[in-house]
Structure 1
Amino acid sequence: MLRLAIALSLVLPALCQTAPTSFVLVGDSTTANGTTPNSGGWGNGFCGSTVTSTPSSLAPGTPCINTAHNGATTGSFVADGFWDISLAAIRGEVAKGRRTLVTIQFGHNDMKIAPPESMGQNLTMMVQQIRALKAEPVLVTSLTRRDFNNDGTINDSLGPWADQTILISQQQNTHLLDLHAASITYVEAIGPDPAHRLNRTPDDNTHLNNNGTIVFGRMVADLMNASFPNQLPIIANPALTFNITHGIPSF
């Protein structure tokens, strides 16, 4: 019996590492694909894109379906039918017997129309519906805007919405990727000029160009790896990870 227990302890972690995994991304323009005006998020840097020649952070053949939409709030994402598209993608991956992780990142547009608690109610509904489909919700706090104060710190208008995401994660016992805190730490470390080189356009401190999506897509991948150690088909990028963790510009 002891030998069997030892054998299982060696085999089960290996099975977890090789479990077929799919990703579905839900969110606003800071998650969405594309680098046209008023768009450009970290999605391409995480999933990869043949259109923009952006390398994936995932092992070849890993499904990564980005359903995020420009301008969306948690409310409009549902009301405009994009949530139905997300749910259909989730159902499709679960039906294939794949472990399906669903990231949810909002806040940039919710903050314009309603208090954080309103977003929190919508996030709770999303989490519960994802679990009802036998998928795994992963809440992600908002990517920071690269809006600097004169002293080099970030002028953080998104903090209350990031805090609300953390609260819902605690209440619903989900995995959490604190992209908000990680991205603030990084851009404050590299400073305004290198941070703005990641902008979609020179005066767009919200959306990302191709270099920006590579940097923050890797940041999400590393946060995901930390939250799910030795479980996910994420490809290492030691050089980029070193720069991110040491506050060094890559572009």
Structure 2
Amino acid sequence: MRAFGTAVLFGILLIGDSTVTAEKGWGPGFCADTTGLAQCTNLASSGKTTVTWQAQTQYKDMITRCKTANTYALIQFGHNDQKVMTTTQFAANLTSLTNKIKSAGCSPVLLTSLARRTFSSEHATSDSLGPYSAETIKVASSLGLPLLPLLADSRAYLDKLGKTNAMKFNYASDDTTHLNSLGAKYFGRIVADEVKSKVSALSSYIVSDTALSAKIAAGTL
């Protein structure tokens, strides 16, 4: 329910790695799909894991911002964790970080990772993030938290769209991980639609874009 008058509005923090950041992630596209929030603040940091993000200034900022009532934290890690830790370690670290964010006062929402735009054929993505996303799903279930299946959603869209068109989202010509502004728009929309569907307290703050959602469902641009 939306708050008015002197009541505290709902807010959203984005926490994660470079695929969430304002510079080359889906974060800006998602925040552009919101309205009326007290804040939609991007605290993601490039190159970080569930462990190393906690050493950043963004972690301290999170502690402060979570003190505001009705603040949700969308949490997406995995890309960098995959390089330096096992799935078991990742699950433990994600659980620990999520509990810290909850203890700070925020309501956590977990997301599986954005798919890499690597393909085994024109309409088949080949992504190695599955085992880590599976752990994210387990952690969300064990903690009783909402889960937004971004890996499955983004792979489904990319598989329909095809490799040729998927390259139009590249942050740089050969960068099939990070997003340009077009990519932020499309994948931010995917996250927004999932929030609207899965997080009832935030649904009224998401601006619908039926035309873009239809393009994503159809696998077109």
C-alpha RMSD of matched pairs (Å): 1.6
Deviation at residue 118 of structure 1 after TM alignment: 1.4
Match of 1:157 in 2: 128
| Contact in 2 for aligned 1:175/1:227 (Cα 8 Å) | yes
Instruction: Work out the number of aligned pairs and report it.
Output: 216
Cα deviation code 1:172-193 (max 9, x no counterpart): 1100000000000000001011
Using the alignment, how far apart are the partners of 1:72 and 1:228 within structure 2?
26
Alignment correspondent of 2:18: 29
Report the counterpart of residue 235 of structure 1 in structure 2. Answer: 207
Are 2:170 and 1:199 equivalent residues in the alignment?
yes
Q: Distance in 2 between matches of 1:172 and 1:235?
A: 28
- Residues 62 and 246 (structure 1 numbering): CA distance in 2 closer, same or farther, change over 3 Å? farther
Correspondence 1:10-25 to 2 at 5 A: 16-18=1-3, 20-25=9-14
Does structure 1 residue 64 correspond to structure 2 residue 53? no
The SS at the match of 2:214 is helix
Q: C-alpha separation between the residues in 2 aligned to 1:204 and 1:108?
A: 14
- What is the match of residue 175 of structure 1? 146
Kindly provide the amino acid, as one letter, of the partner of residue 58 in structure 2. F
Q: Name the counterpart of 2:159.
A: 188
Deviating beyond 4 angstroms after TM superposition, the runs of 4 or more aligned structure 1 residues are none
Q: Contact conserved, 1:65 with 1:89, CA < 8 A, in 2?
A: no
Write the mapping of 1:64-103 to structure 2, written as runs, cut at 5 A: 64-91=40-67, 93-94=68-69, 99-103=70-74
Residue number among 94, 108, 113 corresponding to 1:142 in the alignment: 113
What residue identity is the alignment partner of 2:10?
T
Q: Are 2:26 and 1:42 equivalent residues in the alignment? A: yes
Distance 1:59 1:160, change over 3 A: same
Q: Please, which runs of 5 or more residues in structure 1 have no aligned partner?
A: 1-15, 35-39, 48-55
Q: Secondary structure at the match of 1:26?
A: strand
- Structure 2 residue aligned with 1:10: none
Amino acid at match of 1:149: S
Please tell me whether the aligned partners of residues 153 and 188 of structure 1 are also in contact (alpha carbons under 8 angstroms): yes
Query: Residues 105 and 140 of structure 1 are in contact (CA less than 8 Å); yes or no, is this contact kept in structure 2?
Result: yes
SS of the residue 1:139 aligns to: strand
Cα distance change of structure 1 residues 248 and 103 upon mapping to structure 2, 3 Å threshold:
same
Report the TM-score when normalising by structure 1. 0.82
Question: Is the aligned partner of 1:244 residue 2:216?
Answer: yes
- Report the secondary structure of 2:178's partner residue: coil
Q: Secondary structure of 2:66's match?
A: helix
> Bigger radius of gyration, 1 or 2?
1
Unpaired runs of at least 5, structure 2: none
